[in-house]
Every structure is written in C-alpha cells, then in structure tokens.
A and B are shown apart, each in its own frame.
Chain A
Amino acid sequence: MIDSLSPRLALLVPEMILFVGAVFVAILGLSKNRARRESLPFITCAVLIASIIAVPLTWTDENAQGAGLLLPMLGRFVKPLLAAMGVWLVLLSVGSVDRRLEESVARGRQPFDAQKVARGEYYAFFLLSMMGAMLLCNAHDLIWLFLALELVSLPTYIMVAVGGNGSRPQEAAVKYFFLGAMSTAVFLYGFALLYGSTGTLELLAIRDALASQAAGSGIDTLATIGIVLIVLGLCFKITAVPMHFYAPDVYEGAPTHVTAFLSFVPKTAGFTALVLVLTCVGWTGHALIATDGVRVNYLGLPTPIAAILWMIAVLTMTLGNIAALLQNSVKRMLAYSSIAHSGYLVLGLIAGSTVGIDALYLYLVAYGVMTIATFAALASIERRGEEINSFSDLAGLRVRHPLMAWVIALCALALVGMPPFIGFFGKIYLFIAAFEANQLGLVIAAVINSAISGLYYLRLALVPLVSAPSSRSEEVTSVPSRWPQVAAVVCAVATVVLSFAVGYLLNAARSSTESAMSNATSPTHTEQP
C-alpha cells in the first residue's frame, strides 16, 4: 500500500493544482476590487492550463504502472481533454455570472456586498467538478470511483443555481439535484452488489474475480445485476435513456454557459466511469453454454449487459433525434441532440476493447468541440438581456451578427456528421468500431438516426444564414463580453482543423487504453469442449 502511494500522489498533481486554484478563486471572488473579481475566469483558465501542463510531467509510465490502476494511461488522454475543453467553457462564461449584480454595483445603485456575489463560488465549483472528472481516471477502487463521480455532480447542482439570474435556473437545479440523487442511489446499489459478488473493492481484483467467474460457469447473477444497475445509474450522467428525462428541462433552464458545461463534463465523466466498470467485465473471455454443455466463446460483453447497452444505444439515439425534431427552443433541441449523441457514443462502449474506446474518446473530443462552439455562439448573443431561446430569435442572425451566424451554421453541419468536419471522423470511427464488434444492426440504426438528425441540424444551419430577420431577432444584441465569441470561433475553427489531426488524436486515445487491454485474457472465437 505504501509503495503505491507515492506514484498515486504524483498522479494527483493536476487535481491538486485545480484544488488550490478552486480555493484561491473562491476567496478572490469576495474581493472588493472589481478588477480582481473580473480576473477570476482568467485565473481559472490559467489553473486549467497549469493542470494540462502537469499531466504529461507527472503521468509518466513509471508512476502510472506503479499506481495499480485498471487503465494506467487513461488519464494522460482524458485529463488534458477535460482541462482543454474546460478553458473554452470558462471563456464562454466570462461576464455571465453575477452580471446583474455587477452592473448595479458599477452604476452605484447598490454597494458591493460580499454575501451576494457568486462568481468566486461559481468558478471554484467549476474547478471542483472538473477535478472530480479528472479524479475518475485515477480510480483504483469502487469507493474512489463513487467519490469522484459525486465530486463531478455535486458542484454542478450549485452551478446551475448560481450561474445565472432569475428563478428558472433554480427550478432546474432542484430538478437536477433530486434526479441526480436518485441516479446516485441506483449506481451505488450496483456497486454494493458488485462488491457482494466479488468480495473486493479494488477494480483490478474485481476484474480478476469476474474473469475467473466467466471462466467458470459465467458471471454471477448478482454481479450482472450490479453492473446493469451501475450502467443504468450512470445513464444519468451521460443523459441516456432511461435517465435522460431531466436533460431538456435542465439544459433549457440552466444558463447557457452552465448548459455547455453540463453537456460535456458530466458526460465525459460518466463515459469514463462506464469504461472503467466495463473494462472490469472485459470484452473477451465470455462464453455461452449451449444445451449440450459446449462452451462457445464470443466477442463482446456478457449477453445481458450487451443487450441492455444495445437497447440504451438504440433508444437513446432514436428518442433524442425524434424529440429534437419537434423542438422550437434551440436549447431544448440541443439537449435532445446531446441525448442522441450519447446514443452514438454508447456504440463505442458496446464495441469495446481498444478500438471501441478509442472511437468513444475521439467522438467525445469531436462532440465537445462542436457542442461548446454552438453553446458559446448562443451565449455570446442575447435578446433584451434574456438568453436566446426560440429559433425565431436566430432568424436572419447573419445580418446583425454574421460571425456567430456562421459559427452556428458550421457547428450544425459538424454535428450532423458532414465531412470534412471532425464530427464525421468521429462517427466513421464509431461505425468502424461497431463493425469490428460485429454490430451491423447498430451501425444501421446509427445511420438511419444520422439521417434523421439531418432534418433539425439543417434547420439550425439555415435559420441564421438564410431566413429573413424576424421581429424577435431584430432585438438580438451581443453580450458585453467578447470572450464567448472568442471561444465560439476557436472551437468552430477546431471542428475543421482537428479533422486534419484525426490520426494524432486517435493515436493519443489508443495509447491511453491499449496497455491495459493487452493484458486482457483469452483469444476470441474459440470453441472448447
């Protein structure tokens, strides 16, 4: 235990940086000096960048192998990914938190009151949630996994409530909190059952226990139920059916910069947790016992888990896409589209092993860039001081805000999977992974769903560029801060540029997973008496 502690500590340096940053930001937010308060987001960015730099320095092969992790190199890819997206998520929130309050303080209508400001807390919780997502990569047992997952979620409940103005965010926060608590209960129960079946909390030991169960008469029913419950509970984090109900309401109710956060960070955390849990189960070494007692090994997860994931994938993408067709609110539509993208991502989980996980993380990069750019564009404009809501607010946006109109249109095309944007390569690689796992049916489902998604994304692309300005959109103005626009433009450019770096991204994703996968036991497609 002691000998593995120091590598484990070394791996935690990025999180420590974030924690120190969070404390510092929380205190600085109370400062009476306006300039200091306004520098908060940039300090947060600096902290995130510092943690990005810390990852390759501390996450050496030596440290990673010594820490007893299930996927030793996972963090080297996932942590910089999270922090890099975090930088843009921070930039798109510049000027939004505490805006009313700061304006009235600046005009001298009310004195500065340290008890009323929330900006410091917002960025502190932002960093804490980010830290939770990063800690997931270091999880070596179920307790750590659970705590990290909670650390992702708890700050987000508060961020939804304090990030904006008015009562809608608070309603969304309450909804989000209670449903989140329920999902926590579900996957905690799953953890308990898994522990009951394997008798250990260590992920590596669980993997071995499950492997020996599989080599015997198949994975224990108790463990199977546990894993299914974990998957269902984590569906909340990844906004997948059957735990997706909250997404449209919360995404719509939360302020746009928080919505952008919710659509990326908890999702990445949820998928990372799922990857860890499913890696314990493994994508090889499972067998069906035929009636004559012959063991037939097959590729993929054990049947009940694979079937559940299969249903989750198909239902999630179909429901997300069809519901998105019916929306008139842009943010609700994006919420459903985010649900649909989770459905595609589950393909990677089902396909599994190295290729599937690579595809999953590549698609997460793509999805993150595209979604953040879209939300940043939405966050950079407003109508009469209110957030953009309906499509008619966006009609003819190009007349008044050509740049943001182009960003929205470009992101819509990227989200639909139009080449040569990064979304296309993400999708291609997911399909390839599904093919590798013999999941032709899933590919067809995803193809049909992509076609359906064309309908509403095309609307999102054409409304700002082509429609004549409506009376509502005449009143649309830019928000005072330029930073959301910067985030939007940079991420939009990234959707194009990253597609030329797809090979690099894939290699990075691959090196993060393959070391563990190479330990996986037993060849596939063999028959034993």
Chain B
Amino acid sequence: MELIWLSIIVPLITACVIAVGPSKNARTTAFVGSLLSLAALTLFAWNFPAWKNGQHFPMVAGADWVSGAGVSLSVGFDTVSLLLALLTAFLMPLCIAGSFTAINDRVKEFYGWFLVLGSSILLAFAARDAILFYIGYEFTLVPMTLIVAIYGGTERRIAAIKMFLYTFLGSMFMLAALLYVGWEHRLASGAWNFDIDALTATAVRLPIATQYWLFAALMIGFAVKVPLFPLHTWLPLAHDQAPTAGSVILASALLKLGTYGNYRFALPMAPAGGAELMNVVAVLSIIAIIYASLICWVQTDAKKLIAYSSVSHLGLCMLGLFALNPIGAEGAVFYMVNHGISTGALFLCVGMFYERYHTKDTDVLGGLAKRMPVWACFMVFFTLASIGLPGLNGFVGEFLCLGGTFIAEHDSQTGYPGVLGPWYAVVAGLGLIFAAMYLLILLGKIVWGPLREPASHASHASHGETHSASSTLPIDLGFREIAILMPLAISCLWLGLQPKPMLDAIRPCAERMLVNYPAQVERVLAESAATAQVTAPITSSETSSNSQ
C-alpha cells in the first residue's frame, strides 16, 4: 500500500522539485525520480502475493476522502493492473532519457508535466475506487494535451485540442455511467460507495436494459481512448504531432487505459450489456484492424504509419477481449503489455532518426542501414516483434487473441460460448498479413535500399557542420540511445520466449472478469435463436427449449 502510493507520489514530488530547481538539472532529476518510482513499484511487484489467485492486493480499503459521497483513497493491484502499471513505470525513465536531446526549449515544464502524466497514469491503474480511477484517467489529459500543444509539430494546437475534446467528451459519458452505478449502489445499500468491487457487484444485478445502456456509456468513454474504429481519428494526428516521448507514453500507456477500462469496468460491470453488444464491438474492432492496416499501406510518414498500426493492433486486442473467453482475454492483456513495449520502442526508433534528419517522410529518407547500422538492427528487431514473429513478444498475444476469437463459437466446448468463431478469426488474421506487409515495406524503404538523405542534411554533413539540434548526436546511435532501446529489446525477447509465467498470472484475473459471461451469452444466443425460430420454423428444438 505504502509502496503503491510511493510510486505514484514520487513523480509528483520530483515534478515539484523540477519546477523550483534550475533548468539544467531538470532532466537528471526527472530521470532519477522516474527510476525511484519504478523501484518502488518493482519492490511491490516482487512481494506481490496475489500473482496467481486473481485477487487484488491490498484488500484493505483506503482512507476515506469525501465521506458523504463515498469516495475513498483506496489503491490496490491485481495482476493485470500491476503489469500495466509496471509497463508505465518501466517506460517512464526510458522516455525521459529519450528526450534528453530532443527537448531543448521549456525543459523544466516538459519534464515536470511528463512526470505528472506518469503519476496520473499509475494512479488510474492502481485505483480501487471508481472516482479515484476517473481522477487519474481524466487528469492524464491535462499534461498530455500540454505536451502535445507545446512541444509538438506544426499542427500541434489542433492535434492537442482534438485529443482533449474527443477524450473529454467520451469520459463525461463514462463518468455519468459510473455515477449512475454509484446511485444504484446507494439505492441498494443505503450509502454512497464507489469501491470498484462494490459497484461491480451492484451493476451485475441491474436489469438487462439498464446494463445495455450502462455498457454503451462506458464503452463510449473507453472506445475513444482505445481507440475503436469510428472514434479513432484523433489518434494519428496526436501521435504525429507529439514529441517522441509523448508518442511513446501515449501509445504504450494512455491507450491501455482504454483497454484496461474495458477489462476493469465495462465488461465486468455490465455483462448483460456486454453480451448483447459484443458482436458490435467485435465488428468495429475488425473494421479497425483492416481499415487501419490499409491506411498504413499507403502511409509515407513513418510516425503516422506506426500510429495507424497501433489502431490496428489495439483492434485485435479488443477483439481478443470480446471473444469473452479466458484465452482471448489472456491474449488481450498480454497483448496490451507487448504492444506497449514494441510500439513504444518503434516510436523511440523513429524519434531517433527524426532527431538526426528532421523528417519522417519515407519518400525522402531511405537506406539508413548504411548510415546507422546499430539503429537499423534495433528497428528491424522491434518491427519484427510488432509484426508478431514467433519467438518475440507480439506473437504470443496475437496468437492467443486470434485463438480466442476462433473458439468463441455458439457451441464452444470450453464453457465460454461466443458469437465470433472462425470467420472473425480469419478476417482478423488478414490484418496480421497486412501488418507484415506494411511494416516490411516501411523497413524496406527506410532501413534498406539505396541511401537517401534529405538534401539539406547531406550538404551540412559534407561541409562538416551539423544541424544545431543534432550537434550533440553521433551519426549512429550513441551509448544513451542504445541503453534506452536495450531493456526494451530484452523484454521483447524474454516475453516472447517465456510467456508462460505471465500468462499463468493473468489467467485467474481473466476468469474472474468473465465469471458472468457464459450465462449471459447463452441467454443472448437463446433469445436470438428464439427470434430466428419465429422467422424460420426449422431450428433445433434444443435451443428453443432453452429459451423457455
């Protein structure tokens, strides 16, 4: 408990120290602060007693904050939230180290806001109180908007505003839904309480129609963040405009708040609604997978390409989640972590060549393997991880998500019926082929092939002068950059070769989340079968007897 709070508060304190301290110490202070936060969280994870039983820990309720409204400061982790929090804390120092040369203006503010951002993401993952979660979830918007708006590219204002408004609008619906559940809890028990478990227990007992709307409202909030197909348009712009560190944390941690929200709130709170709407979400996820892949194919901006590939990959993650069986959910959670690592690393790689060449256009730039062999190795490695090469981390998650989708049939033998089945898996699988295609095309353009450099850069280099911002950078990666990418590469390899301990840890959580689903899905299937019987009299007598 203390360690959790420590990991959340240390970045905040560090941010305050940076705000009052001199500008030249800001980056070192920020780095140390984020390392301390990571250390606190790692220590907690080391002693985490609930790796295998799916419970959250600590179980104790936290200090009461707003007594009348039942808002309390309770934090705790289950395996899933702990993994995602660890991912966030792990990426924070790397992002900060990755910004040492990229951020030269308004340095103090950058690191300050960045630490605040990390802290509020950790708070959202750790919260065991719905309002506390909302505070963390919503407050991430402030530092992220400022990071994009101040340090971004040429269209940074519009990107920041779009991101803020999309997410803000969505999360207002989510807030209303959470308050509504809180009210139902108040009616049922006589006191306001926003403890997530208490709310979940109340929500699952609500009438089906209520759960339907509840699920829809929560889903709108989280779908914007994931982002799911029609609501994704803010993401590529925000990614494109954000500074490298911002992109990394956006892709790796902030988007996970959306999928985590589904895992923690939308799915367990409204199983009846989830069962009714699962095919809608699944279809939207598949559209996201295919549509974003096709956009990637024609994309010439390396950063936008990776941003769209995020949309596509998270579509797969959502599909796995909505297969509504433990395999799919396990895969989805595992994929959240892996996507965070490999996409984060790809953004860092893109950022590194962007710092040197000041362009991300794959038409202008190419054959960088000749100039930057070490960078090229990392780039190829992370791209392969992102494609899902067996042996690297992406593969396990993708395979499980697709496998979960494949077996999510009406008469599934696993005890977890679903509506997806092989066809969904096949269409989603196309997305993986596309992913291989567009990512390899990207590699082919910027890593291999004849060396192409922007004219201005080449002329500078030939005259022996370098660009002012890249003056401190070596031609290939320096020690600092290798030190940033190496931990990511190691974790890619490790998770790819040894996924079992983590999957075992996720499994009870996934089962716990899905506990209400088999019954609900069967109900929905029976209803649709009954409807089908009215229209077409020849249906199996078994399903009709179930419906009565």
- Please give the residue numbers on chain A whose beta carbons come within 8 Å of chain B beta carbons, in ascending order: 355, 358, 413, 416, 418-420, 424-425, 428-429, 431-432, 435-436, 440, 443-444, 447-448, 450-451, 454-455, 458, 462, 465-467, 500, 502-503, 506-507, 510
CB proximity of A437 to chain B, nearest CB, Å: 11
CB–CB B66/A450 < 8 A: no
Complex Cα gap A419–B68 (Å):
18
Contacts of A507 in B (CB 8 A): 67-68
CB–CB B157/A503 < 8 A: no
CB–CB A419/B65 < 8 A: no
CB proximity of A303 to chain B, nearest CB, Å: 23
Please provide the chain B residues from 394 to 417 with a CB less than 8 Å away from any CB of chain A in the complex. none
CB proximity of A397 to chain B, nearest CB, Å: 14
Which of B24-32, B139-147, B241-249 has 4 or more CB atoms under 8 Å from chain A?
A: B139-147
Tell me which of A418, A435, A467 contacts B139 (CB under 8 A).
A418
Please provide the chain B residues from 149 to 193 with a CB less than 8 Å away from any CB of chain A in the complex. 149-150, 156-157, 160-161, 164-165, 168-169, 172-173, 175-176, 179-180, 182-183, 186, 192
Contacts of A425 in B (CB 8 A): 66
Contact flag A419-B64 (CB < 8 Å), given A432-B69, A444-B176: no
A-B pairs, 3 with minimum CB distance: A419-B135, A435-B183, A466-B149
CB–CB A454/B179 < 8 A: no
Most A-side CB within 10 Å, residue of B68, B172, B176: B68
CB–CB A451/B67 < 8 A: no
CB–CB A418/B138 < 8 A: yes
Tell me which of B69, B165, B173 contacts A458 (CB under 8 A).
B165
Contact flag A428-B69 (CB < 8 Å), given A454-B169, A462-B149: yes
- Please give the residue numbers on chain B whose beta carbons come within 8 Å of chain A beta carbons, in ascending order: 64-69, 71, 131, 134-135, 138-139, 141-142, 145-146, 149-150, 156-157, 160-161, 164-165, 168-169, 172-173, 175-176, 179-180, 182-183, 186, 192
CB proximity of A156 to chain B, nearest CB, Å: 34
Contact flag A447-B67 (CB < 8 Å), given A418-B139, A428-B179: no
Interface majority SS (helix, strand, loop, mixed), chain A: helix
Contacts of B186 in A (CB 8 A): 435-436
CB–CB B164/A458 < 8 A: yes
CB–CB B157/A466 < 8 A: yes
Q: Which residue of B lies closest to A419 (CB)?
A: B135
CB–CB A454/B183 < 8 A: no
Interface majority SS (helix, strand, loop, mixed), chain B: helix
Complex Cα gap A450–B142 (Å):
16
Contacts of A448 in B (CB 8 A): 172
Complex Cα gap A431–B135 (Å):
16
CB–CB A454/B165 < 8 A: yes
Contact flag A424-B135 (CB < 8 Å), given A418-B142, A506-B66: yes
Complex Cα gap A55–B292 (Å):
65
CB–CB A503/B161 < 8 A: no
Contacts of B175 in A (CB 8 A): 428, 447
CB–CB A435/B179 < 8 A: yes
Contacts of B164 in A (CB 8 A): 454, 458
CB proximity of B151 to chain A, nearest CB, Å: 10
Q: Which residue of B lies closest to A420 (CB)?
A: B135
Complex Cα gap A428–B176 (Å):
9
Contact flag A431-B67 (CB < 8 Å), given A419-B139, A465-B146: no
CB proximity of B481 to chain A, nearest CB, Å: 29
Tell me which of A416, A419, A462 contacts B157 (CB under 8 A).
A462
Complex Cα gap A435–B178 (Å):
12
CB–CB B160/A451 < 8 A: no
14 contacts across the A-B interface (CB closer than 8 A)? A358-B68, A413-B142, A429-B68, A432-B192, A435-B180, A443-B176, A447-B175, A451-B165, A458-B164, A465-B150, A466-B149, A503-B66, A503-B68, A507-B67
CB–CB B157/A431 < 8 A: no
CB–CB B134/A419 < 8 A: yes
Contacts of A424 in B (CB 8 A): 135, 138
CB proximity of A525 to chain B, nearest CB, Å: 12
Tell me which of B67, B146, B169, B179 contacts A466 (CB under 8 A).
B146
Tell me which of B131, B139, B168 contacts A454 (CB under 8 A).
B168
Complex Cα gap A462–B165 (Å):
13
Complex Cα gap A392–B204 (Å):
51
Tell me which of A455, A462, A466, A506 contacts B68 (CB under 8 A).
A506
| 15 further A-B pairs in the complex, CB-CB below 8 A; given A436-B186, A467-B157 | A358-B68, A416-B168, A418-B139, A418-B142, A419-B134, A424-B138, A428-B71, A429-B68, A432-B183, A432-B192, A435-B179, A447-B172, A462-B160, A506-B67, A510-B68
Contacts of A467 in B (CB 8 A): 157
CB proximity of B484 to chain A, nearest CB, Å: 28
Q: Which residue of B lies closest to A410 (CB)?
A: B142
Contacts of B139 in A (CB 8 A): 418-420
Complex Cα gap A455–B168 (Å):
10
CB–CB B182/A432 < 8 A: yes
Q: Which residue of B lies closest to A425 (CB)?
A: B66
Complex Cα gap A455–B145 (Å):
13
CB–CB B165/A455 < 8 A: yes
CB proximity of B107 to chain A, nearest CB, Å: 14
Contacts of B182 in A (CB 8 A): 432, 435
Contacts of B149 in A (CB 8 A): 462, 465-466
CB–CB A503/B135 < 8 A: no
Complex Cα gap A98–B234 (Å):
50
Complex Cα gap A462–B161 (Å):
9
Complex Cα gap A335–B265 (Å):
38
CB proximity of A451 to chain B, nearest CB, Å: 4
Complex Cα gap A465–B68 (Å):
37
CB–CB B169/A451 < 8 A: yes
Complex Cα gap A450–B183 (Å):
20
Complex Cα gap A168–B166 (Å):
40
Contacts of B160 in A (CB 8 A): 462, 466
Most B-side CB within 10 Å, residue of A416, A428, A450, A510: A428
Contacts of A413 in B (CB 8 A): 142
Complex Cα gap A506–B70 (Å):
12
CB–CB A443/B146 < 8 A: no
Tell me which of B141, B150, B179 contacts A432 (CB under 8 A).
B179
Q: Which residue of B lies closest to A455 (CB)?
A: B165
Q: Which residue of B lies closest to A463 (CB)?
A: B157
